[in-house]
Every structure is written in C-alpha cells, then in structure tokens.
Amino acid sequence: MRRHLLSAADLDRPEAELVLQTADELRSLADRPIKKLPALRGRTVVNLFFEDSTRTRISFEAAAKRLSADVINFAAKGSSLSKGESLKDTALTLEAMGADAVVIRHWASGAPHLLANSGWVRSSVVNAGDGTHEHPTQALLDAFTLWRHLGSLDGRRIAIVGDVLHSRVARSNALLLRTLGAEVTLVAPPTLLPVGVDGWGVETSYDVDAVLPKADAVMMLRVQRERMSLEGGGFFPSAREYSRRYGLDSRRMATLQDHTVVMHPGPMIRGMEITADVADSHRSVIVEQVTNGVAVRMAVLYLLLSGNDSGGQA
Amino acid sequence: MRYLLSGARVLGGEPSDISIEDGVITSVVPGAAGRAGGDPEVVDAAGLVALPGLVDLHTHLREPGREDAETVETGTSAAALGGFTAVHAMANTDPVADTAGVVEQVWRLGREAGHCDVFPVGAVTVGLQGERLAELGAMADSAARVRVFSDDGRCVDDAVLMRRALEYVKAFDGVVAQHAQEPRLTVGAQMNEGELSGRLGLRGWPAVAEEAVIARDCLLAAHVESRLHVCHVSTAGSVEIVRWAKAEGWNVTAEACPHHLLLTDELAATYDPVYKVNPPLRSANDVEALRQGLADGTIDVVATDHAPHPHEDKDCEWQSAAFGMLGLETALSVVQQTMVDTGLIDWAGVAERMSHVPARIGRLSDHGRPIAEGEPANLVLYDPSGSHVVDAMQTASLSRNTPYAGRELPGSVVATFLRGRPTVLDGKLA
C-alpha cells in the first residue's frame, strides 16, 4: 500500500478491498480476551489533533495500541484565529521525535496534504479529518460496516442525508462508495449541497421521502444548529423545519426496505437529524460502526507501516 | 548623460537608433544611423523591443508597516527589473495611506529609492474602514498629487459611500479604483467557488460576489457622471458587465492581472498557498474571457497586484495563509506568453495596455508617452526571444511568493530607463 492516506480517492478498488479484508481479520481480535498483536511493536504513532475529537482520537489510539505501537497523543489545540506554533514547527518536532505515522485531525482543509508533501516529516500521514474536506478512515469504516451487512456493495444504493456542504464524511464516502461499486445519493436542502456537486458522479436529491424506499442503507449526517444563524450562513430557517423535512423519524423509517440499515458517524444530535427511537432501533448499526472503526484503523496503520519497513514485525 | 540605444525595435517595428540626452528622447532614427557627436554611451539594442516605461496601477509596496514583506526600495527595484518606470502604491499600509502625511512619505521614499516613480494611491475611507471618506482632497493637493483612490484589499461595499466617493473625486479629476468583492458573499472565502472548491472543502469565492459590485458601481458611476476603475477583474461575467458599461458610453476602466491571464483554480488542488490570491484564480473559461477582453479593449490595462508576503505567511495551511502573489518582475513575460505569443495583441498593444493607458488613468503627465523626439526618456528594452525558468530565490522583492517558481516564461527585460537614466542594464539593477 501507499505511504499516506490523505483522501478516499487515494484508494483504488483493490486497495480499498484489501483494507476491508484486513479489517475483517483484525476485527476478530475484539472478541478475544487478549486484544493485542505485536505487529507494530517498536513503531511510534502520533495522534496530532488540532481539533477536539475524542471519539476519533480514542479509536486511533485503541487501534495503534492493539497493534503494540507506542502512541503519543499531541493535542495542539488551536483555531484559525489563534496563531500559536505553526504546523511546520509542530511537524519538525514530531520528526525529531521519530514518529513512524502521524494521524492528523485539523480544522483546515488540506493540512494533512501539506504535512505529507512539505518534506517536513518522513513518516506516514493519515488524515483523521481535515476541515470540510475529507475523513477517509470514517468512509472505510462505513464501507466495512455496510459490507458486513450487505455483502458486495456493487449496485447497492446508499443515501447520505444532511449537511453535505460541511461534511468531510460525505465527501470521503461519496468517493469510496463509488469506488466500491455502490450508487450514492446525497440528500440535503439545496443550501447544504456544494456548488458543483453534479461533477462528483453521484445522484443528488432534495426529497428524502423519494429516496428512502429505494435505499439499501441510510447514512445520517450531523447538522449543527449554528448553521441556522446568519453568522453560521443561514442555511435553513429552524431546527424544527429541518427535522420535519430531512430528519429520520419512525414514520420515515417505516418506508425503508426490510434489510436497510441506518448509520450515523456520530456524534448524533437526537431529535435533530435522527430521533431517539430510530437511533436505538434494530436497524441502527451506529454502535457497531464504532467497533468497526477500531478494526479499520488497525488495518490502515498496519498496511501503511508494514509497507515501509523499519523494524516492523508483521 | 547621453545614451544611444542602437537598433532597438520601437514597439516591435523596424530597428531604430534612439538617442537620449538630459532625460529626454532627442531623436529616433530608423535604420542603423550614424553616431551622434559627443560620445554617447552606446547600448546595443539589436533585436530588442523598445517600449515606453511600464506603468503599474496596482502595486503593494508594504511600506510603512510591513517592511518584513517589502520596502519601497526593494519593491521599486523589482519594478525596475520588470520594466516599470512608475508604480501606484496601494493604500493598505500601516498606517493606512489615508492622509496627506502618509502619501507624501511614500512618495518621498520612492524619490529617494530612485528605481522608479512611486505614485501613492489614497485610501477612499478612513483606515479602510468603509465608514467615512478619508481626506481625499488633501491627498490630491499634497506633494504626492494623488489621483487614484482605493480601499484595495477591501471593497467599498456601502453604496452611498461609494456614490459620495465617486462624486467627490470629480473636483480634482480623480478616480475611484474599486476592489469589487461583496463582503457577505465571501465570508471566509478561500478559492474560486466551483466544483473544485466543493471537492477540496475550501470555502468558495463566487463570481457573483465580484460581478454584482461591478454592476452596481458602473451604474453609480454613470449616475453621478464620474470615473470608475475596476481593479483585478477576474471573471468572464465581469468582462461582460464592463463591456456593457463601455457600450453605454460610461467612464469605466478595468484592469486584469497577469496571474489571472495565465493560471487557473486547478492549482488550488495542491493546497500550496502560493496560489492563494484575492480575487482567486478562476476557471480556464474565465482566463480565456479575460484574454479576449484585454485584446478587444474591454479590459483597458494590465496591472500586477504585486502582493509580497513573508515566507511564514505562505508556508502554512491554505486557510491560514495570506492572499496575494508577486507580479512586478514577471508581468511582461506573462503578458508576452498569454497575449503576444498567442497573437492576440502586438507590442504596440502591450505599450497601450501596460504604459499609455494606465498612465492616462492615473493622470500621469510624464509617463506613458510615445517613444518620440522631445518626449521624456522613460523606456524599457525587452528581449522577447528565449525563455527563462523563474527562481523564487532570485527575486529583487524581499518576498518569494511568486506563483511562477519553476515555470518557464518567455523573454526578459534587458534595460529600463527612467528620465534618461538607466535603472536596469543587462538585466541587472544599474
């Protein structure tokens, strides 16, 4: 496999399937009493988080630790407004510490790309979510979850519903699910679909009720309340109107096919984009996504780091 | 000092000998004519194109306030090396050039540096705040004789303030140069809004945010019968609006930047902030429309929007990086590549768009004059043959944020004369 994972578009179909197969093998580890492999013993994985994300960080941390890697958590909290240490200086510090992989979460789109291509570090770079750009390991864990429930994704219809405009999850999923042969429909109010989305090779719809009955899976995206205010862009009038037009409630859930699963990348806002009874229903695979997240991230770290060997014992 | 520029092709025409004495062109003689008496210094200009000294309507010299990015000394050195004999220094310095005191300081720094004439642009509003008019009259009456007023970097978006500015500058034949950017449509904007901005997750800067302001300003300029200049036009739609305003007979002029004539938004996919500029690089369709507009006279002039930034402001995340790119030293080469080598305009057309017309818009009397007997000896000798690879480390500018680094560009400036005195000889500062 390649050295970095920056975008879901980096993966062709055989590579993506290799990640899923590897994750499948590693997932069985979760059911064993001792959840640890020596594959990355002696290697150092740095979780470099410029943005708070407890769930993604602990998922990567668990993944690295289960492969026996040493883990350093570096929470360089900052915003575009506060100018602290630059990304460059942070990167040079990590390089000096001898990181083998840097898992980076950043508020700026393209920051992982910059880190990987600037020559500042020699380590592998894994994008753990950058701005409103991409979140490729989330897409991989979503694909993995779908694959376990639906088998091959060829011709499967996946509806992604919510704030597509600001969603790195939607971008990465649109890319990866297409690579794996699925048909993706992005569903959102027109204000929350990016300009030029027609060129993404996916279907779009403003009408969630028309899309749901045909879907094999429904992926709900988080919708932040601040998007309502004019400062947030004024993308929709009220939470109530959003829920009414795009939220997944039990009435809408009843229109789904029997085998259709409901997903959410978390964190959920119950009552906004998804009602509590849907989130807790038998169709929901939301908790399973978390378990799969660790397996997929193990697979990614394993494949990236065992490719450029320097002491790995895989 | 006397100079004989022998065999220069005036505006790309037949070889001529140009004699210069005491800052004035004393003769232009076709053919390799005899040497004048009194031993002038001979500059071999065989094969070189002679153009009137270039005039930039849009330069950021950064002094006072950001001497870490550029100074009047370094910026005007870059200008001379690019063939310019006059630049208009934008007002967004610190302090802002919104008083007679600041514009006179910049003007004086230019005179002391001596590489090219510096004509300060005055701010339209106090502190570029867009709230009340700066003392435009005082700046016009100062030693700097300001005629171009702009809040560049910010848009005068308040319609009534823009109207008053357009009206007020009529008293001293001034012009308001508008940075057309509807602020609410471009909050946090990072790059051209289109398919690519959506894919890259970078917030879009839609064409309409430029076009809507240009349309409004054209109508305002017509209404109060004043003079409007539109800075850095970047979209096909803007070209159409300016074309319409000109067809109506309104007093509207417009500029295009070299980078908008050559580069497209595809470069943003590198996430390299050297390509981050305001207005942003647009689509190939926009580039083509700008070239056509510049060729047919809809766009009057090429202006560089030379915008130096220190390395750390470009060696970072795209979203954190400053907007702007260098332009003075590469402008003529980019215009050759995009406009001359493509057959859209000839060298006389280049002189028109990079010297005569910008001087006219800035109301400069001694620049943008023809290359003829009795005219001020502001000249550039340019070698259009050959090409060079741009090296960011070799800029005369203090900053290195050239988007052309590593790119091959045609031609080179061989010599620049400011009032008969060489500021550049053999491609180096004289």
Residues B128 and B22 in one domain: no
Distance of alpha carbon B322 from the chain centroid: 19
Q: Do B74 and B162 reside in the same domain of the chain?
A: yes
The reply to whether B12 and B99 lie within a common domain is no
| Residues present in chain B in total | 430
Of A108, A198, A200, the CB nearest to B318: A108
Could you tell me which residues come within 8 angstroms of residue A143 by beta carbon, excluding any fewer than 6 positions away? A16, A20, A153, A173, A176, A177, A180
What sign does the dihedral B372-B373-B379-B381 (CA atoms) show? positive
Q: Which domain holds residue B216?
A: 69-361
- A194 in contact with chain B, both atoms CB, cutoff 8 A: yes
Give me the pLDDT at residue A185, please. Answer: 98
Task: Give domain A8-133+290-307's CATH number out of 3.30.360.10, 3.40.50.1370, 1.10.3720.10, 3.30.1330.60.
Answer: 3.40.50.1370
Structure tokens at A276: 């509590």
Whether B238 and B101 share a structural domain: yes
Same domain for B100 and B239: yes
Q: Is residue B404 part of a domain?
A: yes
pLDDT number for residue A266: 87
Number of domains in chain B: 2
CATH, residue B88? 3.20.20.140
Assigned token pair, A307: 């490719």
Q: Chain B residues within 8 A (CB-CB) of chain A?
A: 190, 193-204, 206, 270-271, 312, 315-320
Chain A partners within 8 Å of B206 (Cβ)? 195
Residue A214 has pLDDT above 50, yes or no: yes
**d(Cα A75, Cα A60) in Å, to the nearest integer?**
14
User: Can you tell me the ipTM of this complex?
Assistant: 0.90
CA distance A129 to chain B (A): 11
Q: Tell me how far apart the alpha carbons of residues B406 and B52 are, in angstroms, rounded to a whole number.
A: 29
For chain A, what are the domain ranges?
8-133+290-307, 136-288
Q: At A310, is the pLDDT very low, low, confident or very high (cuts 50, 70, 90)?
A: very low
B187 and B318 part of one domain: yes
Please check whether residue B367 lies inside any domain of the structure: no
A138 in a known ligand binding site: yes
pLDDT tens digits, residue range B14-23?
999 999 999 9
- B407 and B357 in a single domain? The answer is no
Q: What is the average per-residue pLDDT within A222-246?
A: 88
CA atoms within 13 A on the CB side of B404: 25
Closest partner CB to A196 (pick from B194, B316, B318): B194
Residue that finishes a domain, picked among B361, B385, B411: B361
Q: How far is A79 from chain B (nearest CA, A)?
A: 10
B43 shares its domain with B104:
no
Nearest chain A residue to B185 by CA: give it.
A233
| Domain assignment present for B112 | yes
> Would you place residue A311 in the very low, low, confident or very high pLDDT band (cuts 50, 70, 90)?
very low
Q: Is residue B64 part of a domain?
A: no
Mean residue pLDDT across chain B: 96
| Residue A105 assigned ligand-binding role | yes
Question: Which fold does the domain A136-288 belong to in CATH?
Answer: Rossmann fold (3.40.50)
Rounded CA separation B320/A79 (Å): 10
Percent of chain B past pLDDT 90, that is, above it, reads: 97
Residue B368, pLDDT > 50, answer: yes
Could you tell me the two tokens for A283? 């169709």
According to the annotation, is A190 in a ligand binding site?
no
C-alpha dihedral (B187, B191, B194, B196), degrees to nearest 10: -130
CB-nearest to B201 from A86, A131, A199 is A131
The domain spanning residue B392 has which CATH number?
2.30.40.10
CB B9 within 8 A of CB B50: yes
Residues B274 and B420 in one domain: no
Write the pLDDT tens digit of every residue in B88-104.
999 999 999 999 999 99
B305 in active site? yes
Residue B111 lies in a domain: yes
> In this predicted model, what pLDDT tens digit does every residue of B21-54 receive, in sequence order?
999 999 999 976 555 556 889 999 999 999 999 9
R_g over Cα of chain A: 19
Question: Is residue B62 assigned to a domain?
Answer: no
Q: Which of B340, B361, B382 is the last residue of a domain?
A: B361
- Both B259 and B329 in a single domain? yes
Reported pTM: 0.93
Average pLDDT in the B182-187 region? 96
Percentage above 90 pLDDT, chain A: 77
Same domain, B162 and B268: yes
Which of A80, A105, A109 is best to mutate for the B interface (most B CBs within 10 A)?
A109
pLDDT of residue A129: 97
Question: Residue B7: what residue type?
Answer: G
pLDDT in tens, A74-101: 887 654 434 567 888 889 988 898 999 9
Our CA-based measurement puts residue B319 at a distance from the nearest CA of chain A, in whole angstroms, of 6
pLDDT at residue number A107: 93
Å between B219 CA and nearest CA of chain A: 29
Q: Looking at B305, B315, B366, B383, which residue is catalytic?
A: B305
Helices B284-296, B236-247: axis angle to 10 degrees equals: 30
Same domain for B279 and B342, yes or no, is yes
Helix pair angle (A136-150, A286-307), 10° resolution: 120
In the chain, the amino acid numbered A158 is I
Containing H/E element for A63? helix A54-66
Query: Of B337, B361, B385, at which residue does a domain stop?
Result: B361
**CA neighbor of B88 nearest in space, from B75, B100, B101:** B75
